[in-house]
Amino acid sequence: MLLIACPWCGERDETEFHYGGQAHVAHPADPHALTDAEWGAYLFVRDNPKGEFAERWVHSAGCRRWFNVVRHTVTHDISAVYPAGQPRPNEQGEGTA
């Protein structure tokens, strides 16, 4: 079980949270200008890194707030927790806002 530090409530069990997929997937500025392939890529194609991954979580059994977590997909180490809407903390220069 992961121990996730909700930015509001503090450290809680993983069972209090729900997963929200990859973070920082921006909605296209003009969806009508996209081809079907580009729209499909926006909807369905996500990164699948072996390593650190910025993802969204919601504290559904607690404060019900969404926030972002940087989690290592192999070790489950959580290296950063930050509020939704903020850019990913850029530690090794590999992060993208």
- What is the binding site for another protein (CB under 8 A)? 8-10, 12-13, 15-16, 61-65
Decide whether 17 or 52 has the Cβ nearer to another protein: 17
Beta bridge partners of 68: 56, 82
To the nearest whole angstrom, how small is the minimum distance from the Cβ of residue 21 to another protein?
Answer: 22
Task: Tell me which residue of 4, 14, 25 sits closest to 84, measured CA to CA.
Answer: 25
Q: CA of 16: how far to CAs of 11, 79, 80, 89, in Å?
A: 10, 19, 18, 24
Decide whether 27 or 64 has the Cβ nearer to another protein: 64
To the nearest whole angstrom, how small is the minimum distance from the Cβ of residue 13 to another protein?
Answer: 5
